Amino acid sequence: MFAWWPIVRGLIISFQRTDLMGTSEWVGLANFEALFADPLLGTAVLNTLLFVGLGVLIGFPAPLILASILSTVRRFGGVYRFLAYLPVVIPPVVSVLLWKWFYDPGAGLFNELLGKVGLGPYPWLESPDTAMLSLVLESTWAGMGGTVLIYLAAMVGIPAELYEAAEIDGANMWQRIWHVMLPQLRTVIALLLLWQLINTVQVFTEPYVFTGGGPQNATTTVLLLIFRYGFQQGNYGQAAALALLLALALAVLSAVYLRATRSWSKS
C-alpha cells in the first residue's frame, strides 16, 4: 500500500491539472504536450546524458582500479579501506558544500594548487564548459567507497589457484587482471554498472546544491527540472508527467541492459 499508492497517485496526477489547494481537473495529455513544448526539456535530457556519460567514464573504472590496488595492500589495509569508504558516510549535502569550497575561485583548494604552478584561478562551477565535469568528480568521490568494498568482497572469492596458474604460465600483473580477475568479476561489474546508470540518471543533489542548474542551465538535469515544475512553479501535473516518463525510461533501460548482460554471461 505505502509503496504502490504514491506511484498510482503520481500516474493519476500526470493527467490532471492540480494546484496547491488540492483541487484537480482532468486534462488528458495536456501535461505531456506542455512538457514537450518546453525547450528546457531537451537541455535537461542532454545534460543528464552528459552526466551519465561522464559518470560512467570516470566513476565506473575508478572504484575497480582502487579496489584492485587495495586488494594487494597488506600493511594497514584496514585503514586504507576505511579511508576509501569514509566519503560514503558523509551526508551528500555536506560533501557537496565541501567540494564547493574546493572549487571556490577565490580561496578554493584547487585554484590554490593551480596558483602554486603559475596558473590563474579557474571558475570551475561558473563556466558552462567545466561545471558538469566538476559535479561528476565530486559525485564519483562521494559514491565510490561502497562500490570499492563490494569489489573487494568479490575479489576475496576469486580462487588463488587461478592467479598462481596464470603466473606459472608467465602472465604479468596486467594479464592476470585482464584474464583472471575481470572474468571472475563480470557478474558483479554488470550489476554495479546498472546500479550506477540508474543513480546517475537520477542525479539531483549535485546540480541543486552546487549550481542550482546553472550556469546558463548547463547543469539542469531531468530530476532538477521535475523539482522546478513541482515545487517552484506548482505545476504538479507536469512534474508527475516528466517523472512518469523518467520511470518508464529507466524501466526500459534496465530491461534491455539485464537482457544483454544475461546473454553476455551465458557466452
3-state secondary structure of 78: helix
Q: What is the pLDDT of residue 116?
A: 86
Does 171 have pLDDT greater than 90?
no
pLDDT single digits (tens) 191-237: 898 889 999 999 999 999 999 999 999 999 999 999 999 988 888 89
Beta bridge partners of 115: none
Residue 244 pLDDT exceeds 90: yes
Domains and CATH numbers, the chain: 27-266 (1.10.3720.10)
Query: What's the pLDDT at 20?
Result: 65
User: Higher model confidence: residue 114 or residue 135?
Assistant: 135
Report helix angle 77-89 to 61-70, nearest 10.
Answer: 150
pLDDT range class, residue 173, cuts 50, 70, 90:
confident
Q: How confident is the model at residue 211, as a pLDDT? A: 94
Answer for the pair 133, 143: CB distance below 8 angstroms, yes or no: no
Adjacent-strand bridge partners of 17 = 25
pLDDT of residue 73: 85
Residue 102 has pLDDT above 90, yes or no: yes
Question: pLDDT tier at 266 (50, 70, 90 boundaries)?
Answer: low
Q: What is the mean pLDDT of the chain?
A: 88
Q: With cut-offs at 50, 70 and 90, classify the pLDDT of residue 257.
A: confident
Percent of the chain topping pLDDT 70: 95
Query: Do the beta carbons of residue 17 and residue 237 sit within 8 Å?
Result: yes
CA-to-CA separations, 159 to 155, 162, 165, in angstroms, rounded: 9, 6, 10
With bands split at pLDDT 50, 70 and 90, how would you rate the model's confidence at 267?
low
Task: Output b/e per residue, 121-145; b: 16+ Cβ within 10 A.
Answer: ebebbeeeebbbebbbbbbbbbbbb
Which long-range contacts (C-beta less than 8 Å, at least 24 apart) are formed by 255-258?
257/193, 257/194, 257/197, 258/194
Question: From the CB of residue 46, how many other CB atoms can be counted at a distance below 10 Å?
Answer: 12
